[in-house]
Amino acid sequence: MTEITIYVVRHGETLLNSFDRMQGWVDSDLTAKGRQQALTTGKQLANIPFDYVCSSDLNRAIDTRDLILSQLAHQPKIIAPNATFREVFFGYYEGLNAPAAWQEVSQATGYAGQEELISHFGFPKTRQLMHDADPAHQAETYNQVIARWQHGFDVIHEVCPDKATVLLITHGTFIRTLADHHGINILGNFPLNGSVSIVKETDDSIKLMSYNQTTDIK
């Protein structure tokens, strides 16, 4: 049975992150803080013998990948950046102020903001509420995001041999959706920039072993 260990890293802080704007498929550069976060994560992972590294095709993930690679003792093979691992698409709300966008999404429900929606309705319904509120109805639903995750794991499974250790650089809401799907309490628990979550993939299952780690990563 094939078993693959995947270290899933959120990219470093970006300019739009620092302005608290919705950043899905819209991209922006890493800030100085974000570059340092990536280097710090690289030092945390420096002695793990990764066989492969993969990232989203968005520049903030690729730049984070390269900064992490600069700190590793062993250089893994690079898998081409893949759109499967992009952040969740926020449709009409891309680039807008995040609190204001979520206030608009939540106003018809009587609740205020994303965390209240998650607390009362759960994450799948919260993502559906954004999709429904989006004038273009293009904001990704929970099930669409999970389907992308599954496709991404299939990509890794096809490329990597048994017992491979893989470094994957991707995005916050994308990782948070995976965590929720695996039963993690995500309320007020968003992946930090540069944080690491660990997944074990076999022929039969996907297991989230840890989530949102910033220290003592093994």
Question: Considering 87, 94, 140, 201, which one is annotated as catalytic?
Answer: 87
Please check if 21 is assigned to a binding site.
Answer: no
Please check if 14 is assigned to a binding site.
Answer: yes
Please check if 157 is assigned to a binding site.
Answer: no
Please check if 60 is assigned to a binding site.
Answer: yes
- Is 137 part of the annotated catalytic residue set? no
- Is 87 part of the annotated catalytic residue set? yes
Please check if 187 is assigned to a binding site.
Answer: no
Concatenating the DSSP letter of every residue in the chain gives --EEEEEEEEPPPBHHHHTTB--SSS--PBPHHHHHHHHHHHHHTTTS--SEEEE-SSHHHHHHHHHHHTT-SSPPEEPPP-GGGPPPP-GGGTTSBHHHHHHHHHGGGT--SHHHHHHHH-HHHHHHHHHHHSTT--SPPHHHHHHHHHHHHHHHHHHSPTT-EEEEEE-HHHHHHHHHHTT---TT-PPPTT-EEEEEEESS-EEEEEEEE-SS--
Please check if 65 is assigned to a binding site.
Answer: no
Question: Considering 11, 131, 171, 181, which one is annotated as catalytic?
Answer: 11
Please check if 30 is assigned to a binding site.
Answer: no
Please check if 17 is assigned to a binding site.
Answer: yes
Give the residue numbers of the binding site for substrate: 10-17, 60
| Annotated binding-site residue numbers | 10-17, 60
Query: Which active-site residues does the annotation give?
Result: 11, 87
